[in-house]
Amino acid sequence: MKTKIKDKNNGNANGFKQTVFSQMMNFQCELRSELGVSPLPHWTATAEAPHWTKAICQNFRRTIFKSMLKLRPTRKFSWRNYGRSIGLMERYKTFLTNDAPQILEAEGFNKKISKKKWAEIEPLLGLEEMRQYYLKILKRPTNDETSMPELYEEVLKKGLANLEKHKEVAYLHIAAQGAKTTQLFLKGMSEGYTIFLNAEGEFSGDDRRTDIHLELLAWQYDIEKMRRVIPQKNNKHLVGELKKLPEFKNKSEDWFKEVFKDIKLSIGRRGRPPMFAGT
């Protein structure tokens, strides 16, 4: 999945002002709202999400997050679900420390970028927004001069340590239980480890459209730009770009049509192009 970054106007095309970081955070706000979980700390959405990204969030709730949402606490405590929750946390830790670096390397993010190319990309990323957000998470002053990579490492370590504390508390609870209860907990822990991502890093609840939905989210800025340029482009332009990617090159136009129809994504339409959200 390649994030499209082309525009040189600081993420601004006909009034559309979102950096890569703010776009990612705003999507998380929309997704959390759809899932009914607590909002992001220290972040309020800076722009309304396009209707088609909201549709993707609804799809994710029905598919890849369906099993996770069943782990919400109920009046009747379940040791098996408790184990599943801990197993899920363990898989998340594995993803952060092992899967994610491998994915980034496979996508070419570890390759050296020329100074000229970086000068084009850097303003679009929202590094200062990211920096200020991490400083809030770490409860640091706004004038803290710690480098961005170091801040990220500290945030990652803090998150992993928090997950480890949850596991330690769970083990303390289960240590006081009998064999049958412990067996239920451990069985649930094994199930929870693959309840969201399996051992191959694939989504367990994938409806075979998760990859294309994630790709479309990565193209959000470009898609919204296509919908508003004059003369307008249409869905065929987007299909043409997506078919250049190896994972979608053999997909038919009818397949793309069904995907777009499902999330109500339409680029070309008659009449005056609408303004960008948040303008």
Could you tell me if residue 245 is inside a domain?
Answer: yes
Q: Is the pLDDT at 10 greater than 80, yes or no?
A: no
Q: Which domain holds residue 261?
A: 1-63+207-279
**Which contacts qualify for 48-55: CB closer than 8 Å, 24 or more apart?**
48/277, 48/278, 49/277, 50/220, 50/223, 50/224, 50/277, 51/264, 52/216, 52/223, 52/263, 52/264, 52/265, 53/27, 53/217, 53/220, 54/30, 55/262, 55/263, 55/264, 55/265
Task: Give residue 222's pLDDT.
Answer: 85
In a domain, 218, yes or no: yes
How many domains does one find in the chain?
2
pLDDT score at 17: 66
Residue 207 burial by Cβ neighbours in a 10 Å radius (0-12, 13-18, 19+): middle
* Cα of 104 vs its chain's centroid, Å: 14
Residue found under tokens 């959405």: 45
Domain-located, residue 17 = yes
pLDDT tens digits for range 35-67: 999 999 999 998 888 999 999 999 999 999 999
Do 174 and 53 share a structural domain? no
SS3 114: coil
Q: How high is the pLDDT of residue 113?
A: 85
Token representation of residue 269: 């339409």
Quote the percentage of the chain above a pLDDT of 70.
Answer: 89
Q: Is residue 68 part of a domain?
A: no
